[in-house]
Structure formats: structure tokens, C-alpha cells
């Protein structure tokens, strides 16, 4: 073994590794979920989206579905030339809703790059029942 060279482990830079392996832990877009009284609120950051053409929000079988497509075009002009870049991509996110939600009363709004979906949640209350313990 005297003549063998030791090879150090080669690590790919993080962006390259994510490109090849995929970054499955990171969702397609940030989502915040919280309760506002008897309403479940879902907020999603979706900047530069035309909600009329590029966004579809549906509810079926107790799941909120957010689907869309992002289209971006950038242009770089200089005295030495012109470069144009296009970026396309679709995204989707499924969010389970609490039991008993009525899909007929769901509302959505889009303002300043943030989608807000409001879902009424029935107030089931919290009742406690004392369970007797028998001795054997």
C-alpha cells in the first residue's frame, strides 16, 4: 500500500448537488397556515403571477389544491449586444383541510404577490367525557 495515493472525498458544490439530486425537502413555494377564529387561512408567496391566467385554486375531497405556472422573461441590453432569458415552470401544492370544512364557502384573494385562501372551519368545540375506570 505504500505506492497508493489517498484520494480525498470530492464534494459537489451545493447548487450543483441540488440540481442533480433534487431538493425534495423544500416545497415549491412558501406557504403559511394558521387559524383565525373559525377560519383556516392559507397564505402563499407567489410573486410575479397573473392570478387570472397562471393560477388555479380548487378544493376537493378535503384537500386544497394550488396549481400554477410561472413565466419570467428578462432582457439585458447593452451597447455590445442583447440577451434575453426565459424561465418557465409549473408548481403545485396540496394542503389537507380539517375535517368538516365546507368547500362551498372557500374564498381566495391575491394582493402584492401573496395568495390568501380562507376556509371556514366548523366549530366542533372541545367536550370532555370522563371515562370510568373499573377495578378488576
Looking at the DSSP assignment, which residues form a beta bridge with residue 14?
A: none
Domains, the chain, ranges and CATH?
Answer: 28-120 (2.60.40.790)
**Dihedral of alpha carbons 113, 107, 120, 91, sign:** negative
Q: Tell me the whole-structure pTM to 2 decimals.
A: 0.62
- Is the pLDDT assigned to residue 31 strictly greater than 80? yes
Question: What is the distance between the alpha carbons of residues 37 and 135, in angstroms, rounded to a whole number?
Answer: 42
Give the rounded distance of the alpha carbon of 10 from its chain centre: 33
- Which pairs with CB-CB distance under 8 Å and at least 24 residues apart come from 14-23? none
Please check whether residue 28 is in contact with residue 35, taking contact to mean a CB–CB distance below 8 angstroms.
Answer: no
Give the best-scoring range by mean pLDDT among 7-16, 84-93, 115-124. 115-124
Look at residue 66 in the predicted model and tell me its pLDDT.
Answer: 93
Split at pLDDT 50, 70, 90, the class of 84 is confident
How many C-alpha atoms does 65 have within 13 Å on its Cβ side? 8
Amino acid at each position: 500500500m505504500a505506492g497508493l495515493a489517498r484520494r480525498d472525498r470530492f464534494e459537489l458544490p451545493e447548487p450543483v448537488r441540488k440540481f442533480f439530486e433534487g431538493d425534495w425537502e423544500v416545497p415549491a413555494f412558501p406557504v403559511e397556515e394558521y387559524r383565525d377564529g373559525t377560519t383556516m387561512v392559507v397564505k402563499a408567496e407567489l410573486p410575479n403571477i397573473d392570478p387570472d391566467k397562471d393560477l388555479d385554486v380548487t378544493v376537493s375531497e378535503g384537500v386544497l389544491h394550488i396549481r400554477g405556472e410561472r413565466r419570467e422573461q428578462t432582457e439585458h441590453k447593452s451597447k455590445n449586444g442583447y440577451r434575453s432569458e426565459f424561465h418557465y415552470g409549473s408548481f403545485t401544492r396540496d394542503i389537507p383541510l380539517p375535517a368538516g370544512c365546507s368547500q362551498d364557502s372557500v374564498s381566495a384573494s391575491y394582493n402584492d404577490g401573496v395568495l390568501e385562501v380562507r376556509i371556514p372551519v366548523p366549530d366542533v368545540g372541545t367536550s370532555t367525557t370522563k371515562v370510568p375506570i373499573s377495578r378488576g
